[in-house]
Each structure stands twice: as structure tokens, then as C-alpha cells.
Amino acid sequence: MFSKPQQEHVWLDRLVGQWKFEHECEMPDGSKTSAQGLMNCRSLGGLWLICESSGDSPDGQWSSIMTLGFDPTQNQYVGTFIGSMMANIWPYHGVLDPAGNRLPLYSEGPKFDGSGLGKYRDTIETIDADTWLFISEIQTDSGEWKRFMLGSHTRA
């Protein structure tokens, strides 16, 4: 039962490579931080993208791993995110926009204020072959999406 890469899997190949990034964060409480680092993204059998990041922030050094693939049975992208700075795993699911440039990935995790779970959206937006953005948002109680992180990635 070996799966074969489909068109949706090929889309992930645009992220394969070495990347430098800068992330700017503004938390809901108004505090601001930034982080810089490196990311290495590789393909696993043409079906999965594995991105390993490490960087520096005012809170210290950190590392993370993001996995992304396409599940034809669900007809959507799926994946996970884990980081050395948090104890929870973020399961992802999402559908590529019609233009083929934005992949919003939805998840659920702890709210910043510790008051329970919240809905999150991390969006990968490809700009060109050497640039992409990573945008993190939380859904407010009124249902609006509030951006708290913008990451710019450039090919190293």
C-alpha cells in the first residue's frame, strides 16, 4: 500500500530547502518580541514535508518541527507542529486557496491567557520561489481572526 504523490503533494516541494527567517510577534497583551533563525525543509518520500527550525528570541534559544502532507481520504492538507517552548502538539488541517498561493492551517490549542482552548490559524503564503510568509492568528471571542505573528522566510 504505497501511496503516490499527487498534485497537492507537489505543492509542498516549493518549501523544500534551507531558509532564513525573521518572525515578529505581538501578543494579545500588547507585548512584542522577535526571533531569527534557520529552517531546513525536506521531503519524505514526496508525500510529507518536514521542516526543522531553530532560532534565538529574547526568551532564549528554541527549536521546532512542522510536518505537512496531503491526505486524499480527507481531501485536505494535514500536519503537526511541536516546539521546544511548549508542551502541546498542534494538529493541522487545511485547504489550499484557489490561486494556489495560500495554505491556511487550522488548529486548536491553549489560549494565551490560560482560560481554555482557542482556535488558531497558521497560513503559509508563497510569494515567489525564494520567499514565503508564515502568519499566525487566533480567533477572538467575536469570531474575528487576530494576527499575532508574521514570519518572513527567504531562501538561504
Q: First and final CA of the chain: distance in angstroms? A: 36
Q: Kindly give the confidence (pLDDT) of every residue in the chain, 156 residues in length, as a single tens digit, with 9 standing for 90 and above.
A: 789 999 999 999 999 999 999 999 998 888 999 989 999 999 999 999 999 999 987 788 999 999 999 999 999 999 999 999 899 999 999 999 999 999 999 999 999 888 899 999 999 999 999 999 999 999 999 999 999 999 999 999
Q: Where are the domains of the chain?
A: 7-155
Residue 146: which of 30, 35, 51 has the closest Cα? 30
Look at residue 27 in the predicted model and tell me its pLDDT. Answer: 85
What is the domain class of 7-155 according to CATH? mainly beta
8 A C-beta contact, residue 138 and residue 26: no
Buried b (16+ CB within 10 A) or exposed e, 98-129: eeeeebbbbbebeeeeeeeebebbbbbebeee
